[in-house]
Structures are given as C-alpha cells and as structure tokens.
Amino acid sequence: MRRTLLRNVGIPLLSMVLLFALWQGIVVFFNVAPYVAPRPLQAIQAVTRDWSSLWPLVLATIRETVYGFACGTLLGLSLGVIMAKVPFLQRMVYPVLVLSQAVPIIALAAPLVLILGFGGTPIVVIVAWIVFFPVTVNVLDGLSHVDQDLVNLARVYGASKWRTFIQIEIPATTTSLFSGLKIGATYAVTGAIIGELVASNGLSLAIYQEHADSNFNTAAVYGTTMLMTAIGISWFLLVVGTEVLVTPWQRRSVARRPLFHRRAAVVPPTSQH
C-alpha cells in the first residue's frame, strides 16, 4: 500500500519538482531578464501577493469549467446514446459534429457573444462545445462494441431493452466514457480561458493576465498561467479519481464491503493487503 502510494504520487511529484528546477536553472544559467521570464518562486509570489483579488477570479474560472464540463458531458452522453441507437441519426449527425470541431474555437467565440451577450453563458457554451465531442465519440464507440453475445444472453433471460441498456450496455461503456471525460477535462479549462478572453464582462483570470502583460508584470503573467494550469490538472485528477471510485473492478480483485446494508460480521474484517 505504502509502496504503491509512493510510486503513484511520489514519482509524479518528483517530475514536477524537476520541471521547476529546470526552469530555475535555465533562467539563472542564461541570466534571462526578469521581464522575459521570472524565476518560478517569483511567479508564485506574484500570485500569492495578489491572492485576495485573484481568488474570486479563480473561483469564476472553476465555475465556468465545471458548468461547461457538466453540460458538455450531458450533451455528449445523450448524443452518443442516441447516435448508437438510431443509425439513421448517426449518419445524419456525425458530419455536423465533425464540422462543429473543425470551426476554430476563437472564431466561434465572437458570434457566440453576439448571440448570448457578454458574461458567463457564452464561456460555459464554449467549454461545453469542446467537452461534448470526445465524450460523444467515445460513448458511441463503447456502445457499438458491447459484446453482442452478452446482449443476446440478456434477451434469452427475458430482459427488456431498457434493462439490458441499464445493466449491460451502460456499464460496459464506462471505460470508454471516462476516456472521453479525461480528454474533455484537459481541454475544459483551455476553453474557459479562451471564453474569458473574448466574452468576459469585467475582470476575469484571462483579462487579469492581459493586464499584467501590458503592465510588464511578467512574474504575474507566468503566475497566472501556473494558476490556470493548476485548475486544469486538479479537474483532470478529479475525473480520474471519480473513475477509480466508480470502476473498482479495474484495479481490485475483491470487492469492498458495500457502505450500506452491511451483513452482520460473518467474517471478521481482514485487512486487504
């Protein structure tokens, strides 16, 4: 248990530390001017010094990311299911989906602001626009690769289409769904920042960075970038954590006792490795 924790958390942390050390090393060794690139600690200090004004902006970016991700997931999941179930719609909708992703997202932002006005709504739409596509593609792929023998077995047992869908097809698609969600999670924050650049009414994390840039506050520019990256990583890790929680069979050989309706302790609780 200890060893796995060390390997799964320790090694990634070490690589982060090395990355920062490399950054520090390059800046010091080449004597890079502070207005071109600050040292890592200076960038972090620029953020902590102004934390009280940055914090609400971070919260807003997180909110846009979460709302957009939720909408994108819901849309992506529904589209994936509908397309898998109705081949006619699949043929009809697929090219439109590809088209939607071929549109440069920046070029999409301007008309969205014209339609929806400035503010949170167009930003959420942009995030959802980016997130739904990998979800749809992966869900569609997952659903069309469900073992037909398993579906037939359910039929032999007399299962309805609905129960077969809920009990067989959906669980069989979980892994694919999470592949889509993980891709979506990495792009979601990028979408939110692009949205903020174009559609913010008032201050936002992206606009804060623009101001820092025009004031030659390079440390704050870098610091804000680090902050945005941190939001993206956290969101990705949250999705991965959810996957670990809802798909225990992928890494365990024995199921945990369910949290509720525990049976009386027939077997004394044994420690699992």
Partner 1 sequence: MSADALLQLRDVGKTFGDTVALEPTSLSVDEGSFVAIVGPSGCGKSTLFNVIAGLLTPDSGEVRLSDEPVTGTTGHVGYMLQKDLLVPWRTVEGNITMAARLTRRVTSEDRAEARRVAEQYGLGEFLRHYPSALSGGMRQRVAFMRTLVTHQPLLLLDEPFGALDAQTRLEMQQWLLQVWKDTGRTVLFITHDVDESIFLSDRVLVMSPRPGRIIADLANPLARPRDVDVLIDPQFIEMKSQIMHLLHGGRR
Q: Which chain residues interact with partner 1 by CB under 8 A?
A: 147, 149-150, 152-160, 163-164, 167-168, 171-172, 174, 247, 249, 252-255, 257
Residue carrying the six token digits 């009414």: 201
Question: Looking at residue 260, what DSSP letter applies?
Answer: S
For residue 218, the minimal CB distance to partner 1 (Å) is: 50
Q: Pick the closer one to partner 1 by CB: 85 or 155.
A: 155
Of the pair 49, 163, the CB lying nearest partner 1 is at 163
> What is the spatial distance between Cα 68 and Cα 209, in angstroms, rounded to a whole number?
22
The sign of the torsion formed by the CA atoms of 28, 34, 36, 38 equals positive
d(CA 53, CA 206): 13
CB closer to partner 1 out of 31 and 272: 272
What are the structure tokens assigned to 180, written together?
């889509």
Under 8 Å between Cβ of 135 and 70: no
Nearer to partner 1, 6 or 166 (CB): 166
Shortest Cβ 256–partner 1 spacing (Å): 8
Q: How far is the CB of 259 from partner 1 (least distance, A)?
A: 14
Helical segments of 86-169, H only: 87-102, 105-116, 120-144, 148-156, 161-164
- Residue 262 Cβ vs partner 1, minimum distance, rounded to whole Å: 12
**Which of 74, 172 has the CB closer to partner 1?**
172
- Of 173 and 224, nearer to partner 1 (C-beta) is 173
Q: Which of 56, 208, 57, 69 is nearest to 126 (CA)?
A: 69
How many CA atoms are closer than 13 Å to the CA of 117, on its beta-carbon side?
4
Q: In sequence order, what are the residues at sequence separation of 6 or more whose Cβ sits closer than 8 angstroms to the Cβ of residue 50?
A: 220
Q: How far is the CB of 172 from partner 1 (least distance, A)?
A: 7
Smallest distance from partner 1 to CB 268, Å = 14
**What region does 202 belong to: left with phi over 0, alpha with psi -120 to 50, or beta?**
left
Question: For residues 88 and 157, which CB has a smaller minimum distance to partner 1 in the complex?
Answer: 157
C-alpha torsion angle, residues 56, 58, 61, 65 (rounded to 10)? -120
